[in-house]
Amino acid sequence: MNEIKNWIKLHVNASSVELTYQDYALDPSYGKAPENSNAVAQEIYSLLGDLGDSLSVWQVDVKALDNQTSFYILDRMMWLKVEDWEQLYQLILGTSYRQETIQHLFWDLLPQVGSRAAVLFIKGVVKSQRITAYSAGRLLANFPFYMKETSEELLTSCEEFLNIGEKLTYTREEDKKTVEQSAILSFASLIFATCKGGKCQADTLDRYAKLYLDKFTGSAKHYDKMTYLQGLSNIELDKVLDFLSPVIMGKTSSDRHIRFLAVWATLPTVYSQQTKVYNIYWPIFSNKTESLEMRLAALTLLIMSKANPSRFFTLYWHMQAEPSEQLYNYWYTSIHSLANTNYPCYEQLGHVASKLARFVQPRARIWATGNYLLDFEDQDRAYGSLFQVLLIASERTGLPNVFMFLLEHHSLGHSRMYALYLKVEGLDSALSKHLEGMSGWLKSPQHMAEVLQLLMNLKVPQHSPDNVHLELIFKIDGRTIIAQYLDNNNFTHWALEIKRLSSLYFEFSVNYQSLQFPLIIAHQSPSDFGAPVLVQIRSASLISTRGSISQENEGKARNAELDLRYSWNGVTTLKMYDPLSNKWHGADRTRNVHIRLPFATQLNLQTKQTDQSSRSFFKVTAVRHRDFVPGSRLGMVWHASTRLVSNKPLIKTSPNITDEWTMDSEDLGARLGASVFDCGNQETLQDSLQLLKKAFLANHKNYNSIPSGIIVLGILSLRDQLMFQPQGSNCGVMLYFTPLLTQVEPTILWEDNTMSLSMNRQDGPLWEVKTGSKRLNDGNKEVTFKLYRAPSVSVTVAHIWRVIQLEGAFIVPSRGSGVFHPPTALTGYAFMSWGDATPSQTDKATIVDLKIMPGSYNDSASCEGYTPMCLQSASDAAARQTAVLQYSNLPTWLKMAAHALFPEHIQTESTKTQVTFAYPVALLPWNTKGLCAVNHELVLTLDNVTLPFRLDQRKTLAVADCSKTSSFAIQLDLHNDIIGADMLGGGDHVQLIPQADKTLEVKVNGSKIENINQGYERIDSDKTEFTIRVRPPGIVEVELRCGVVLQHYNSTVVILIPARFRGDTCGLCGDFNGDSMNEPSHPHHPEN
C-alpha cells in the first residue's frame, strides 16, 4: 500500500451524522453553510447587477445563451437570515435606472426562495410599508407556492396577516384593500401548504377554517364575503361542503353571486364526498326555477363526482326533457369534449362520455353557454396540457357574461394550473352610458321622446339595465391570488379616471422586469456512498419592458419607445454532492429561448375628427429606435446543450454556426435570416424545422371543440417539444431580422372603410397596400386589396427579394339582399407572388393563387311564398363553397409548416389543394344578428320560434327597443291584405301605407315620397339617419341609423335587429335572448 500524500482537508465546520440517510429541506450540505453571510449578500447584489446589465445587450446572438445566473442567485438566497435580507435590502436601494432594475429582480426572487427567513422578512417589509401596495400584494400572493420550510410555529407567527388591514396607513383606500386581501388569501394558502398531508394538529386546521368561515358569514359587503370565501377555498378543507351547504342551497343567503362562488369553492370535495355532492346539487340542478348559472354549476359537479354509466345515463334522461337550450348545449358540449379527451385526470370521465356521445345530439344554434375542452398528451414523454373554456350566457341577452378559462400543464409528474374567472354583468349598458359622446343621438331626449311615448301608451314595461357586477378571480394550482369586484360606484370611478387620463398629455418612462420560476421539480436519494443524489428540473422566465411614452402637446400624437424581451431557461440536472470537498458533481441539460421583439420603436399615434364632417382617421407610424445599433439582429434564438455541473454561473460563449440562410428585402427594409449553430451532427435548417412540425401534429390531440384548436394546442406543446429535442446532442436555431441602412418607416392608416399599409423612405413612398370595403346595390359587401408601387423609387441592390404582386377581391354576401332565398355564395380571388424581382428570375418566383367559387346548394331552400315558416328552415341553409389553392416554388420550410398545420389538405410534394366548406356558418359566435318575420297569421321570433298570430287593422307592436334609452319602435297592421308598417327611430317617422292597387305609399315625417323606386336618404350633419331603397323584385327596404332593417315583401315583413339590442327588445318578435321558452304571449295594441 502506497503512502497517502494528498490528504483531504475537511472544513472546520464538519460534523458527525448518523449512518441512516436523512432527507434535507434547504441545506443539501448538511450544515456546511457559507461562513460569511455578509459576503453572500454582497455576491447576490453583484449578480443581480450582472443580470440587469445583460438586458442592455441589444441584439439576439448565439453567445451567452445558457445563463444560469438566476438559478445560482436563488440558491445563494437560501442561506440568508433575516438580518442578511435587511443588509441586501439596503444594498439595492437607489433611484438610478440600474438600481431600479435590480430592485425589480430582487422583489421577484424574494417570494420564490421558500425559506423561513424570507417569509419573516416579507412580513416585516409589508407591515412597515417600505414597498408599494402593488409590490406588497405580489410578495404575499407568491410566497406560499414556494415554501420549503413549513411549521406550525411559522404559521402562528404569520397570523398577523389576518388583521394586517388595521395597521396599514396607505393614503389610498384601494392600496389598503389590495394588501389586506392579498394577506388574507396568502395566509389561507400558507395554511394549506403547512397542513396538507396531516402535518398540522387537527384542532389547528379546524381553528383556522372556523375563523375564515366566521369572517365570511359575518361580512356584509360582497367584496369581503368574496375574499373570505376564496380564502376558505384556498385552505381546501374536507368539511368545506358541510360548512357551505346552507349557503349553496339558499338557506342562509339569497345572493346568487355568492351562492355561485360557494359552489366552486367546494370543487375539491367532488371526489371524496360523492353522496353529499349528489344530495346537495341534484335538487339545484333539477329545479327549473333556479338561475342558469347555479344549475350549470350543479350539473358540472354531478358529472365530475361520479364517472360511471349510471350517473351519466341518469343525467341523459333528465336532459332529454330539459327546456333550457343554453343548459342543454352545455351538456352537449361537455359530453362531446370529454368523449375525445386525452387528459389523464379525465380518463374515466372520457371513457363513459365516449359511450354516450352518439346519443347526445345538438339541439339548436347555441354557443354562448358551453364547455369547450382542448387537450393533448405526449404518450412517449408523459407531458401534456389542457385548455378549457366554460361560458355561461346571460338569461336576459343570451350572450356570455360568465367566462372561465383553465390552463393546465403537466410534465414529468409535476402539474401547474392557471384558472381565470370573469363575470361581467351590466358591462354593456355601463359602457354605453360612458361612451354616449360617441353615439349621443341615441340618448338625446328629442330622439327618444316619440318612442317612449308610444311604449307608454302601449303599456309596455321598460327593461331596466343590469346593475354593474364585475368579478375577476385568478387562481394558481387551485389557490386564489386575486379576487376583484366592481359595482356601479366602483366602475364609474374607474371609468372617470381612465377618461381623465386619456385626455391628458403626459410623459413617463417604463422599466419593468418579471423573473419567475414556474417549474421546480426536485427528487433526492442517497448514493451508494450515502451522499445525496439530486435529480432536479428547473425553469426560469424573464420578461423585460423598457422605454418611454410621451406626448408633446395635448391632442398631439403619443410617442412610444419600447424594448420588449423574453428569456426562458430550462435545466435538467443529475448531480451528486461530495461532502468532503463541499462540491456537486454531475451534468446539466439546458434549453433556452431568448426573444428580442422588434417593438423597440417609436410609435406615432394620431387621431383626427373635423368639425365639417364625420371623417376621422387613425394613423400609426413606426420609426427606428433612437438607441438602435446598426447591424443588430432582432428576433428569437433557441438552444439546447449538455455540460458538466459548475458551482458558479457558467456561460458558453463561442458556438459554431453550421448553416445560415439570409434574404435581403428592401420592401421590408430588413435582412431576414435563419441560422443553425452548435449542432454536433451538422444539422441543417430543414432538419431543425422537423422539431417544430411535431408540435402541430394531430396525434393524441383533442382539438375539435374550438375552431383552429389544432393551432392552439400546437402552440401549447411547442415549448415541451423544444424541451425534449434534440435528444442528447447540442443544437440551436436563430430566426432574426436586421434593419437595412436604407431606413424605412411603415405606416398604417385607417380611414372610414379603408385601410392602407405603406412603407416609406426619405426619398418617397416605396409601396402601399390598400384595402377597402363598400356596400353594393344588392346589399352584398365587396372587399378588395392591392399592392401599389411608387415608380419613382428604384431598388438599390440587384437580386433582392421583393413582393412582386399582391391583389385580391371578395364578394361577401349579405342575407339583407333577400332573406327568403338561399344565401349567395362567397366568391373571390387572391394572388400573391414574391422572390427575386429581376426579369431573368421571374420563373423562380413563388406564386400563391387562391380562388373561391360557388358550389352546389339545395334549391328547395328557396321560399316562393315568403312565409315565416319557410324562412325558419331557410335561415339554416348554407351555400356549398369550393376553395382552390395553387402554388409553385414554395420554400421547403413553408411547405413543412403548412403541412403541419393542415396535414389533410397540404402535402409537401403537391402544388394544389382544394377545400369544400359551407357559407354562412350558422354556429359562428359572431353570427348573432336577429331576424323576425311577420305575416297575417304567423310570427317567426328573434329566437327562431314560429308562433300563430292573426294580424288585423289595429296597429300592433312588432318590435321595439324597450330599454331606458329606447331608440326605435316598429308597428304593423293589415290593410287590403298587405301589411303596413310604422317606424320610429332617431326622431324620424317612416310609414309604409298599403294602397288599394297593392302598392305602398311611403311617407317620411308626414310627407309623401314620390318615385320611391329611385330610393331616398335623409342626411343630418353629414350622418345618414335612414335609407329607403327598393330591391328586386319590388322589395321595399328601410334601414335606420341604429342598424335596424325592415324588408317589406307585401304579405310578409322581415325585420333584422343588430346584436347590441339583445335582451332589450319587446313586441311580437320577442326579447331576443336566445331562449325559445319565453316567447310573447299577447300583442300590444294602442288604446282607443
- The pLDDT tens digits for 271-287 are 888 899 999 999 999 99
SS3 sequence, 532-586? EEEEEEEEEEEEEEEEEEEECCCCCCEEEEEEEEEEEEEEEEEEEEECCCCEEEE
- Supply angle C-alpha 451, 456, 461, rounded to 5: 100
Question: pLDDT tens digits for 400-458?
Answer: 899 999 999 888 777 889 999 999 988 877 776 666 544 444 445 556 677 777 877 77
List of domains in the chain: 238-305 (no CATH), 508-739 (2.20.80), 760-795+798-919 (no CATH), 930-1066 (no CATH)
Q: What are the two backbone dihedrals, phi and then psi, of residue 168, each rounded to the nearest 5 degrees?
A: -85, 145
User: Cβ distance 363 to 325 under 8 Å?
Assistant: yes
Residues counted in the chain: 1088
- Note the pLDDT of residue 503: 54
Q: What are the CA-CA distances from residue 1045 to residues 549, 816, 932, 969 (Å)? A: 44, 8, 10, 12
- Note the pLDDT of residue 1058: 87
Q: Which residues contact 326 (CB under 8 A, 6 or more apart)?
A: 292, 366, 368, 369, 392, 393, 395, 398, 1074, 1075
- Note the pLDDT of residue 433: 67
Q: What are the two backbone dihedrals, phi and then psi, of residue 583, each rounded to the nearest 5 degrees?
A: -135, 160
Residue type present at position 846: T
466: its cell numbers: 343590469
Prediction pTM value = 0.86
- Note the pLDDT of residue 446: 57
Q: Classify the C-alpha dihedral 136-140-142-143 as positive or negative.
A: positive
- Note the pLDDT of residue 498: 63
| Residue with grid cell 332589450, as numbered in its chain | 1064
| Residue with grid cell 334522461, as numbered in its chain | 317
- Supply angle C-alpha 741, 747, 753, rounded to 5: 160
Q: What are the CA-CA distances from residue 257 to residues 264, 402, 420, 430, 687 (Å)? A: 11, 11, 16, 19, 54
The helix or strand, by DSSP H or E, that contains position 137, with its residue range, turns out to be helix 133-142
- Note the pLDDT of residue 439: 43
Closest CA to 230 of 193, 270, 195, 182: 182
- Note the pLDDT of residue 610: 43
User: Cβ distance 373 to 338 under 8 Å?
Assistant: yes
- Note the pLDDT of residue 191: 93
Ranges in the chain, pLDDT < 50: 437-443, 608-614, 796, 922-927, 1088
Q: What are the two backbone dihedrals, phi and then psi, of residue 818, each rounded to the nearest 5 degrees?
A: 150, 90
d(CA 741, CA 719): 35
